[in-house]
Chain A
Amino acid sequence: MIDWTILTDNWELYLEGIRNTVLASLLALVGSFVLGIVIAVFRIAPIRILNVIGAAYVEFFRNIPLLLVVYLFFLGLPVLGLVFNGFISGTLGLMIYTSSYIAEAIRAGIQAVPIGQKEAARASGLTYIQAMRHVVLPQALKIVIPPICNQFLNLVKNSSILGVVAGMDLMYFGDIVNADTYDTVSSYAFVSLFYLVLTIPLSLASRSLERRLARSG
């Protein structure tokens, strides 16, 4: 049922796809994490206008399909004269979309840190930013690591959206192999296999990280 020659004949295409999927995932992962922290801080900072911006951002990007977020960059921005290729549009869309989920996870984590922690830090003369940086965020991150790892796993899988906008990722080359060989089952079986090769170590790593964090109290 699985034709292994599909793999041996097309391994260069698959490899190129894996390379770009990993690259897009890493870029979107780092970007969405940083952006997620910023938006989360917007949502809880004691400044009303930032709260509104943060809430609007999260509600907008979390409540439209990922495909439309990617289209926003791939088809929407060219209207304004900003043209990005499929890889960049896809990666940006993925980053923005994921950041709204990460922001929510981090906000929940920050709010789960007892209020006394912030009070103790502020009472000792630390500024709001210092109190967040040294006292609240490190504790919040510990709380949000499980949900964030989950989001990162989703991110790797969601990166297949790049295939729709010719983003040169694993899914895109899977489509090409399928179109060349007409062996749909084999073509996509190998695509699945390669996603698993990427996601299972990530999944195991996140579980061991969780265990380690649980131990350190």
Chain B
Amino acid sequence: MITFRGVHKYFGTFHVLKDIHLQIESGEVVVVVGPSGSGKSTMLRCINRLETITEGTLTVNGYDLTAKSTDINLVRRDIGMVFQHFNLYPHMKVIDNITLAPIHALGVPAKEAKETAMLYLEKVGIPEKADRYPSELSGGQQQRVAIARGLALKPKIMLFDEPTSALDPEMIGEVLDVMKTLAREGMTMVVVTHEMGFAKEVADRVAFMDEGRIVEQAEPRQFFEQPAAERAQLFLSRLLRH
């Protein structure tokens, strides 16, 4: 479903992604972990071409993202994305945040888009906030709206870019719960996070990145108990000490 083959990316002269090979199948939950600045978010953002790759090939849902002929808007319709800072549209009510892309990118009639949006708001547990503005919601609620907004596209893939990093500790749980439900329902998910508990519980696979490379890929149990790479051992030992 998502295939990185020999992908490199540079920001100017800075080599952010180095020879990335990663294959993600439909229904898989892949959690990407690693120290700050290791290229996790950049790799994630390549999947819907918020970042372009410099070298190699990247195919998503059968589309070659490096091909000039690929209509990126078609690719993006099948990918929901959740950002660290939510990025809800502050000038729109919650319901309009969710229906904007279905109406204008997918061409869904407004009434139907609204009904679908309500379903997803119920799914994330805050249907009563439909007519509120984002600024009236807590961080956890805003991030749940952002998840509903991503789901409203009825995407094949959901991308999560550190979805809990900007949240107060007591709100992290409610967001992770929604994500766990999604994972159990078979959504294909790529999650960049520092929540090791989430990785242990729901990941099919953990990818550990360091200095632009995927240093190790393993099932969570194996990764957390017996990491093969020395760099991963060091990373995990530092986490455990805190």
Contacts and interface: CB of A to CB of B under 8 A. Distances in A.
Interface string A154-194: 00000000000000000000000000000000000000000
A134 interface: yes
Contacts of A138: 91
Interface string A119-137: 1111111110010001100
Interface in B117-154: 133, 135, 149-150, 153
A122 B105 CA distance: 10
A126 B99 CA distance: 12
Contact of A124 (B101, B133, B135): B101
A127 B48 CA distance: 14
A150 interface: no
Contacts of A117: 87, 89
Interface stretch (B6-14, B24-32, B74-82): B74-82
Given A123-B48, A124-B76, A217-B135, A116 B87 contact: yes
B104 interface: yes
A43 B83 CA distance: 28
A92 to B, nearest CB: 34
Contacts of A142: 91
Given A130-B105, A217-B135, A122 B89 contact: no
Contact of A135 (B76, B89, B135): B89
Nearest to A217: B135
In this complex, which of A114, A123, A127 has the most chain B Cβ atoms within 10 angstroms of its Cβ? A123
Contacts of A123: 48, 50, 76, 79, 81
Interface in A20-74: none
A120 B87 contact: yes
Contacts of A124: 76-77, 80-81, 100-101, 105, 149-150, 153
B22 interface: no
Nearest to B135: A217
Contact of B100 (A119, A126, A127, A139): A126
Nearest to B48: A123
Contacts of B74: 125
Interface residues of B, number: 26
A120 B153 contact: no
Which range holds the interface residue count of chain A? 10 to 19
A217 B133 contact: yes
A134 B90 CA distance: 12
A114 B77 CA distance: 22
A187 to B, nearest CB: 48
A135 B104 CA distance: 12
Nearest to B100: A134
Contacts of B149: 124
Nearest to B150: A124
Contacts of B222: none
Interface string B80-97: 110101011111000000
Given A124-B149, A130-B105, A134-B104, A119 B87 contact: yes
A142 B90 CA distance: 11
Contacts of A125: 73-74, 76-77, 101, 105-106, 153
Contact of A130 (B79, B91, B104): B104
A208 B76 CA distance: 41
Interface of A: 114, 116-117, 119-127, 130, 134-135, 138-139, 142, 217
Given A116-B83, A124-B81, A127-B73, 14 more contacts: A114-B85, A114-B87, A116-B85, A117-B89, A119-B50, A119-B83, A120-B87, A121-B100, A123-B48, A124-B101, A125-B76, A125-B101, A126-B104, A139-B90
11 contacts: A120-B81, A123-B50, A124-B150, A124-B153, A125-B153, A126-B104, A127-B73, A134-B100, A138-B91, A139-B91, A142-B91
Task: Across the A-B interface, give the 8 residue pairs with the lowest CB-CB distance, nearest first.
Answer: A124-B101, A125-B105, A120-B87, A116-B87, A125-B77, A125-B76, A123-B81, A217-B135
